[in-house]
Amino acid sequence: MNSEEKTRGCLTKAQTLKDSGNYKEAVTVLQSLSEHGVHWGPVYTAALDLLAELCFSQEQGVTVDRFFPAFRWNRNKLRGSQHLEEGTRRIIDITLKHLRASGERARRNAKMMEEDPKEEELILAALSGISPAQRARERYLIPAENMTQMVGCELLNFNVIGHSKKLLPFYLDTALQLIEYCHEHNLKRAVGRIAEAFVRFFKRFLQSPINLPSKTDNQYLITLSKELEADREDFYKEKATTEKAVGVFCRLLQILTAMNSWQSAWSALQCFTKVMQEISQRPDHSRECQIEAHMAMASLFWKCSHYAFHAHCLGVAAFLTEEGRMPIASRAVLATLCAPNINRERKSFARGSDSILEKNARIAQLFGLQAAPGRTSLWKRLQRMQVLQTASPEVQAFDELLRNEVLDEEMAKKAIGYLSNILQKEPSLEIYREPLRKVIIQRYLESMSAKTTRLEADSLQIGETNPSEENYINEIEPFILNESGIAVEIDHKTNSLSFSNTTKMKVLHAFNLLAEKVDLQPAAPRRKLDIRPEHLQRAHDRSSIIHRLQYLCEETAEERRQNAKDKEEAERENARLERVQNEERKREAARLAQEARGLAEYQEFVNQERRKVVLRRLKEKYKSFTVPDTITQKNSTDFVQELTMLLTEHLKKTTREKMADVTKMNYFERACRELEIPKRERIEREEAEQHKAERAAARENFLIQHRKEFEKRQQDNEVLKKFLKEAAVFAEQIQMKEKTSKRDEQQMLLQKEKERLQGL
């Protein structure tokens, strides 16, 4: 039996088992394709499709992880063959097709359950307090997300698809499809795990050290190390593959940012920056890749409000851009203006400032910086890279205006006008409107705090055509109190702000007002003392008693100290003895427990060996009897019960199969006999007619022959009748002639004797 016939047989048998509802047995049959004798082909692909359908259906206890071994033995079959790329693509397409179908089925069932719940589900929801929508999510959507997570992590594993020059594009396409699928259906937990698997792959592929093979290493390990090193070089040399990988990383960061999966985004960002450092160190690196990467990282930093690193990435992207630099340069300049002053942040003692500085330091390490860049350092860097000079004239004027040390109300209004004109000409810069307005307000407050002690709140709504109290309360006031870092006092009654240098005077004035309202208590009145002899006697007695008590205490102090010391030592000794006894009891208990545990483990080991012997004998007796090896680890009762149940089921199944085979053969023989009976009857009828015709013909021939012989004898008799008389005479003459005389007899005898003697 060749490979294709074997594969077709497995496929047919599995399809029959699936139609009869035996999903587990069908999966077991299809998993036998992992044997080395089965080769890749159309029938093999159809069998993989059926295996994926059975595993992704998750019916009758069949789980999706039973499909995962197919990835590895499929790769082993395709390694070194001409069908490597096509076979890898087909199994990936099959997996993603059934994953999407399973997810769509789960969402359809959840929607049906949510929109049209059954009566028992409504009763259960009323009793448990869990809505049908939540129950639908727990029953259908969460298992579907778990399946997506498992399949994605398995597909993006290091040794599943592969990292060679031919297979890495398939890996990147698969990762991108999985990420887009999770984003489309809002699978936040699944996309986080898939991102972690993707990051682990690239860390092992590009960042893990390759140990130099030694003479003592296995040949297989040496081959793997050489292949990994060669694949790394191919990755960096192939610009198409490098650009594709960078694109997948950028899309991954965008989706993780959109779904607020910050932990996974941080892991992906760490790996991505290291990969980009390796790419940028190559002599023939692509500028487009670096521009795309820094733009993606800039979007990420903007979403998580790290404006300094957002400006840093935009500056690098603008520096690398050769054609059409003005829009991105303008954006980099505006982002730099949004960045905070790092020196002022370091002196901040606000809540969470230490955490912000630690985060900034960790991010700075990714870009090889000693610390997070400040607004001034970013601006100087843009000047050195000739990015500031290539920005639009309006942006340069706006930047120059905000760089002034003094920003009064007139200049603030002018800055707001510049900002409006810039955003009107370039709507893509609309995201910088609110941060830049806050920067203008902060600069205005800093400038005004050096000139005056009081400021009207209405003057802070700079450039507003319709200033409103709601805008001031919801936006401006929270910014001043929480983000500006300027110590102010807000008086809502007068709708004004007072800076911190007037606070002391207000506090002193308040204390003065309070002191004026304090009630003074008059002094106690003086009176004449009346001292009598009994009073003096009582005082003398009291002094004598106190003196005696003092003397007694001094005399007995040493004795009391010694008693206390002895008592403390006795208590300490008792405690020590008690601890020693407790330790001895604990050691004895531990020793007994260890002995009991060792005895139990030995007994369990002996029982497991006996169970293995029983299983081996049963497998020898019943060839097709299969039992999982983990059954030997159960206790005796469970082992006997489960083994008895499995053996009973096996014997029942074997008996049923034999009876089914016998019944099938009986039906087959009966059908054959029923098919042969009409043919046999027809043949017998034809033979009977033929025999009858042959007998009739033989009888006719016999009669004709007999008639001819009779007629011939009659003719001979008629002829002989003419010679009857001559015949009688002739007979008499012949009789006379044939009669021998004695003399002749003697002569004849003498002649014979002579001849005999002559012969001697």
User: What local confidence, expressed as pLDDT, does residue 514 receive?
Assistant: 67
Q: Is residue 347 classed as helix, strand or coil in its secondary structure?
A: coil
**Closest alpha carbon to 642 in 653, 631, 654:** 631
Bridge-partner residues for 491, per DSSP?
A: 496
Q: Can you give the pTM of this predicted structure? A: 0.61
755's tokens: 């001849």
Distances (CA, A) of 707 to 172, 285, 347: 105, 119, 149
Residue at token pair 């899309």: 251
Q: Is 437 exposed, middle or buried (0-12, 13-18, 19+ CB in 10 A)?
A: buried
User: What local confidence, expressed as pLDDT, does residue 740 receive?
Assistant: 60
Q: How many CB atoms lie within 10 A of CB 49?
A: 18
Residue 572 CA to residue 206 CA, distance in Å, equals 64
User: What local confidence, expressed as pLDDT, does residue 323 receive?
Assistant: 81
Residue 727 has phi, psi (to 5 degrees) of -70, -40
Residue 700 CA to residue 155 CA, distance in Å, equals 91
Residue 750 CA to residue 728 CA, distance in Å, equals 35
Residue 319 CA to residue 390 CA, distance in Å, equals 10
**Closest alpha carbon to 359 in 444, 498, 266, 259:** 266
User: What local confidence, expressed as pLDDT, does residue 522 receive?
Assistant: 58
With contact defined as beta carbons under 8 Å apart, do 123 and 74 qualify?
no
User: What local confidence, expressed as pLDDT, does residue 725 receive?
Assistant: 73
User: What local confidence, expressed as pLDDT, does residue 343 receive?
Assistant: 46
Q: What is the mean pLDDT of each run of 10 residues along the chain (760 residues)?
A: 71 80 81 71 82 82 80 78 82 89 88 80 72 81 88 86 83 91 89 91 83 61 78 83 90 90 89 87 80 90 88 89 85 86 47 64 82 84 86 86 71 79 84 82 70 62 56 60 61 61 50 64 59 81 82 79 87 89 89 88 86 84 81 80 84 87 87 85 88 90 88 83 73 63 78 79
Residue 62 has phi, psi (to 5 degrees) of -85, 120
User: What local confidence, expressed as pLDDT, does residue 353 receive?
Assistant: 46
Q: Which letter does DSSP use for residue 212 in this model?
A: P
User: What local confidence, expressed as pLDDT, does residue 32 receive?
Assistant: 79
Domain residues of the chain, as ranges?
Answer: 1-161, 431-500, 604-642
